Amino acid sequence: MATKQPVIIEDKDQMRKWSRSMRSKGNTICLVPTMGYLHEGHISLIREAHKHAQVIVVSIYVNPGQFSPSEDLSTYPSDFHGDIQKLMAVPGGVDAVFHPYNLYSHASISGKVKDGDDGGVESKGVKDKGVGVVSCVEDGRLGHQTWVRVERLEKALCGKSRPVFFRGVATVVTKLFNIVEPDIAVFGKKDYQQWRIIQRMVRDLDFSIKVLGSEIVRDNDGLAMSSRNVHLSPEEREKALSINSSLSRARFAAEKGQVNCKELRDSVIKTIEEAGGRIDYAEIVDQESLGAVEEIRSPVVFCVAAWFGKVRLIDNMEINLSRA
C-alpha cells in the first residue's frame, strides 16, 4: 500500500494559507482535532473524515487551556513521530498535520513541566477571583483572556469536576476553526459531552462548519480507547472493564423494560465500585440537552467517569429505545 506523507505545519498563518489554497482548488476540507498519542479511536475519525472530504487536516496539540493546574497536563502522553507513522498508515492518509507549539502566544503557560520533573505545577498567577475558573493558560495583564462558553452544557457531567475543561475545549476549537477554516470537523462520541458542546457552539456562533460525531472504538476487551489508557496498570485495566460491561448490561436491561434511571445508575455504580473504581459520576441524560432524566422516554446517553488508580476514564452508551 502506498503511503502518503502529510505536510507538517506549525505556524498559524501558514496553516490558514495552505487551507485556503486547498479550498480555492475546489476541495472540501475536514479537520480532525486531536491531542496526539493517536490510537485506533483517532484513526476511526480519519476514516470517517475520508467519507466526507477530499482534504484531511489532523491537528495535534495538547491544549493547556482545558487543563487546570492540578490536572495532568505535564504527564499527558505524546509521541509525535509515532503519530505521523500511524497517520501515514491510514488508507488514504492525511494531507496536513497542524502541530503548533503554542496556540496562546500572548499568554504564559503554567503546569507544563520538563521531562523527568515530578509534576510540580507553577502556581504563579493562576488564582483569579474575578473569573472563578483558571486553566494552565495564565491570564497575564495583556495575556489571553477570551473564552468561549457553552454556558449550560459545560456545567453538566465532566463540567462539575473539571470547571475549566469545556471552556478550554470550546475556545481551542474556535481557534482551530479560525485557523484551519474547515468545512467539516469530526469528533469522537467517546467524548460525548465535548461533541455536543461543539455542535451547539457551531450552531450558536454561526460557524459554517458541519460537526460529525464518530462512534466509540473499543479494544477487544471492551475498554473504550483513550490516550490515557497507557497509564493503567494491567490490574487497573482489568478492573476498568467494569465500566463497559456494566453500561452494556444497563442498556440491555433498558431494552428489556427497565426504564427507571435510579435503578440503572445504582447498578452501574455498584458494579464499578465493587471492581475497585471510584465513581466521579454516572448519569443518564438527554442526548441533546445533557439534562438528567428520571425515566427513559426519549433518546438518552448513559455517561460514566471513574477513577482507577490515578487515571480518570470516561465512557458512555447511547440508549435509543425503539418505543421511546
What is the closest distance, in whole angstroms, from the C-beta atom of residue 225 to a second copy in the complex? 29
318 pairs with which residues across the strands?
301
Closer by beta carbon to a second copy, 115 or else 151: 151
Closer by beta carbon to a second copy, 106 or else 297: 106
Compute and round to an integer the Cα radius of gyration of the chain: 20
What is the closest distance, in whole angstroms, from the C-beta atom of residue 125 to a second copy in the complex? 12
Closer by beta carbon to a second copy, 30 or else 179: 179
CA–CA distance, 67 with 109 (Å, rounded to integer): 11
What is the closest distance, in whole angstroms, from the C-beta atom of residue 246 to a second copy in the complex? 29
Say how far residue 174 (Cα) sits from the centre of its chain. 14
Closer by beta carbon to a second copy, 15 or else 232: 15
Say whether 42 is catalytic: yes
Instruction: Show contacts of 25-29: CB within 8 Å, 24+ apart.
Output: 27/53, 27/54, 27/55, 28/52, 28/53, 28/54, 28/55, 28/183, 28/184, 29/53, 29/54, 29/55, 29/56, 29/57, 29/180, 29/181, 29/182, 29/183, 29/184
Closer by beta carbon to a second copy, 20 or else 262: 20
Check: CB of residue 191 under 8 Å from CB of residue 228.
no
Q: Which of 39, 42, 50, 144 is catalytic?
A: 42
Instruction: Show contacts of 259-262: CB within 8 Å, 24+ apart.
Output: 259/295, 259/296, 259/297, 259/321, 260/294, 260/295, 261/292, 261/293, 261/294, 261/295, 261/296, 262/294
Closer by beta carbon to a second copy, 41 or else 182: 182
The letter for the amino acid at 180 is V
> Does residue 100 sit in helix, strand or coil?
coil
What is the closest distance, in whole angstroms, from the C-beta atom of residue 157 to a second copy in the complex? 15
Please state whether 59 falls in left (phi above 0), alpha (psi between -120 and 50) or beta.
Answer: beta
Say how far residue 224 (Cα) sits from the centre of its chain. 13
What is the closest distance, in whole angstroms, from the C-beta atom of residue 69 to a second copy in the complex? 17
Residues that bind a second copy (CB under 8 A): 12, 16, 103, 106, 130-131, 139, 141-142, 144-153, 155, 170-171, 174-175, 178-179, 181, 200-201, 203-208, 288-289, 291
What is the closest distance, in whole angstroms, from the C-beta atom of residue 32 to a second copy in the complex? 18
The residues assigned a catalytic role are: 42
